[in-house]
Amino acid sequence: MTLPRSTTQRDEDLIRDFHYIWHPCTQMKDHEAEPPLLIDRAEGLHLYDREGNRYLDCIASWWVNLFGHNHSHINQAITDQLQKMAHVMFAGITHQPAVDLAHKLIEWSSPNLSKVFFSDNGSTSVEVALKMSLQFWAQTGKPEKKRFVYLKGAYHGETLGALSVSGIDLFRNRFEPVLMDNLEVEGPDCLRCPYGLTRDTCKAECFEPMEKALVEEHQNIAAVIVEPLVQGAAGMKMYPPVYLEKLQATCETLRVHTIYDEVAVGFGRTGGLFVSEQLRHKPTFLCLSKGITSGYLPLAATLTEDRIYQAFYGDHDTFKLFIHSHSYSANPLACAAANATFELFAADGFWDALKERIATLKECGEMLKELPWCGEFRQTGLIGACELVRDRDTLAKFPMTQRVGYQIYKKALQRGLFLRPLGDVVYFIPPLVIDPETIRSMVTTARDCIHDVLSEV
C-alpha cells in the first residue's frame, strides 16, 4: 500500500478502493504505481474525473456504450419505468417492457429465430445456449451429442461453462483441469494466414480443421460456437464472412447447432444490427448482451428457434422444461433502457450517419498504417484495431514483458484518451455516435502516443 495518506476526497476514495476492491481482469499491484481513474460523471463520449479532467471513452466502457453517456432519451426511459416498477420476478409473471423488447429482438434478428430467453450478462447468455443445446439433444434421442467446438482465440465469457468454450490460454490455463471436455480447433488467422492468402481473395481455406473436426466428431458434437467476424479478446482478430458460410452449411448438413455469440459485435457495431441477420445466416442460438441496453445496465438474451423450444414444450409430468433462472431475468429497468436503445436505432438518419463514421475510421486507419510498428490496421464496422509489431516484415511481436500496450495506455491517459490495448493491439470501439471530427482526433492522438512510446523502446 504505497498510496499516500491524505485528506482530499479523491485520495481518500482511491485509498478505500485499494483497500476494499478487487478489480476484474486487473493485476492489482499495477495500481501501486498507477491508481485507477476515479470517474465521477460521464457525458456523451467522455468520462470526467472530479477535477474536471476528461477522457474520451475510446472503447465504449468495455464495448457496451452505443449512444453516448447520460443520454436524455435513455435516462427518461429508465426514470419513467422506475416510477412504475423497478423489478418483478419473471416466472409466472410478465411485463410490457420485456414483451416489447422480445418482440423487437425477434423482428430485427434472423427470421429463423423466434424465442427470447433473458439473463444478465454475456457469460450467462452463452451458458443458456450451451445448456439448451445439451438438453435439446438429450431430449431428442442423441444424448451422446455433448461436446462443443470452439475456435482458438475465442472468448465467450468466464463462468466455467463459458470458459470451457473459450480458446485463450491465459484465461483458461489455471482452470483447465475442471473445464468441460470440448474441442478446440484452429480458426482463421488472417494477418498471419498459413495459406498465404488475404481476406479479400481467400475462400476460407482455413475452414479445413473445423470441417475435419465436424466430419469426424459430429455425432458427439452438440454445437459450434463462434464470435462472428471479430474475435474480440483475441485482439480484435477479424475474418471474412465466407468462413461463416462454410460453417453454416457444414453444421446444417451434419446436424450440429450453431451458436453465434454477438455479445460484442451485435447492436450496430458492424454497421448493421446483427451480423447474423446482415449475412442472412440462421444461427440456432444468438447470444446478445453488452450494447443491448446501450451500456446502461446488465441484461442479456439468448434467442433460438421454435424447433429447439418445442423439444422442451410438453405436459408438466414430462419434466422437459428448461430449468434455468436468474432472479433478475428481464429486469424491467434494463428492458426499458433496451427499448429506448431500439428507438434510437430507428431514428431518422442513424444508419447513414453510422456508415459515414465507419468510412471516417477507415480513412483514419491510413495514418496508423504509416507507423513503422503497424503490423496491420484492420477494421470491421466501427471496430478498428492496430496490431503493433517489433518488425513489420516478419510480424515479430514485442516481448510480453515489455508491456508496450500498457505503456501506450498510460501515455494516452495523459492526453485524454481512455484506451485499453489487448496486449499490443491498440483498438477503438467508440460509442456509435462518435462524430467524424472526434474520430480523427482520437486516432491522431493514439498514433502520437504509439509513436512516442515506441520511439523510446
Which residues line the annotated binding site?
Answer: 62, 122-123, 155, 261, 290, 325-327, 420
x/- letters, 204..233, toward its own copies (CB under 8 A): ------------------------------
* Cα–Cα distance for residue pair 362/171, rounded to 1 Å: 31
Cβ-count burial of 38 within 10 angstroms (0-12 exposed, 13-18 middle, 19+ buried)?
middle
We find the least distance from the C-beta atom of residue 125 to its own copies, in angstroms, to be 11
| Candidate ranges 12-20, 196-204, 375-383, 389-397; the one touching its own copies (CB under 8 A) | 12-20
- What three-state secondary structure class fits 339? helix
We find the least distance from the C-beta atom of residue 319 to its own copies, in angstroms, to be 7
Q: Does 316 engage in binding with its own copies (CB under 8 A)?
A: yes
Q: Can you spell out the DSSP letters for 352-417?
A: HHHHHHHHHHHHHHHHHHTSTTEEEEEEETTEEEEEE-SBTTTTBPPPGGG-HHHHHHHHHHHTTE
Which of 65, 231, 284, 341 lies at the binding interface for its own copies (CB under 8 A)? 65
Contact between 267 and 292 under an 8 Å Cβ cutoff? The reply is: yes
Separation of first and last alpha carbons in the chain: 29
* Cα–Cα distance for residue pair 261/227, rounded to 1 Å: 5
We find the least distance from the C-beta atom of residue 346 to its own copies, in angstroms, to be 18
- List the alpha helices (DSSP H) in 219-313: 241-254, 275-278, 306-310
Task: Give the bridge partners for 301, in sequence order.
Answer: 118, 288
Q: Does 8 engage in binding with its own copies (CB under 8 A)?
A: no
Which of 223, 334, 425, 434 lies at the binding interface for its own copies (CB under 8 A)? 334
We find the least distance from the C-beta atom of residue 152 to its own copies, in angstroms, to be 17
Q: Does 326 engage in binding with its own copies (CB under 8 A)?
A: yes
Return the closest-CA partner of residue 98 out of 300, 322, 312.
300
Which of 80, 88, 280, 396 lies at the binding interface for its own copies (CB under 8 A)? 88
User: Given the complex with its own copies, which of 116 and 234 has the nearer CB atom?
Assistant: 116
User: Given the complex with its own copies, which of 178 and 394 has the nearer CB atom?
Assistant: 178
| Candidate ranges 187-195, 198-206, 254-262, 396-404; the one touching its own copies (CB under 8 A) | 396-404
Return the closest-CA partner of residue 230 out of 427, 431, 24.
427
Which of 6, 41, 216, 396 lies at the binding interface for its own copies (CB under 8 A)? 41
| Candidate ranges 90-98, 193-201, 342-350, 382-390; the one touching its own copies (CB under 8 A) | 90-98
Q: Does 54 engage in binding with its own copies (CB under 8 A)?
A: no
We find the least distance from the C-beta atom of residue 421 to its own copies, in angstroms, to be 11
User: Given the complex with its own copies, which of 204 and 385 has the nearer CB atom?
Assistant: 385
Q: Does 103 engage in binding with its own copies (CB under 8 A)?
A: yes
| Candidate ranges 95-103, 201-209, 347-355, 388-396; the one touching its own copies (CB under 8 A) | 95-103
* Cα–Cα distance for residue pair 431/58, rounded to 1 Å: 8
Q: Does 42 engage in binding with its own copies (CB under 8 A)?
A: yes
DSSP-derived pairing of the beta strands 285-288 and 257-261? parallel
Site for its own copies, residues 286 to 305, rule: CB under 8 A: 289-290, 295-298, 304
The letter for the amino acid at 291 is G
The letter for the amino acid at 162 is A
Q: What's the Cα-to-Cα distance from 52 to each of 38, 49, 122, 237, 244, rounded to whole Å?
A: 11, 5, 33, 36, 46
* Cα–Cα distance for residue pair 49/52, rounded to 1 Å: 5
Q: Does 78 engage in binding with its own copies (CB under 8 A)?
A: yes
Site for its own copies, residues 141 to 200, rule: CB under 8 A: 143, 146, 158-162, 164, 170-171, 174-175, 177-178, 180-181
The letter for the amino acid at 166 is S
Binding-site residues for pyridoxal 5'-phosphate, please?
Answer: 122-123, 261, 326-327
Site for its own copies, residues 123 to 142, rule: CB under 8 A: 123-124, 127, 130-131, 134-135, 138-139
Which of 401, 414, 437, 456 lies at the binding interface for its own copies (CB under 8 A)? 401
Contact between 42 and 57 under an 8 Å Cβ cutoff? The reply is: yes
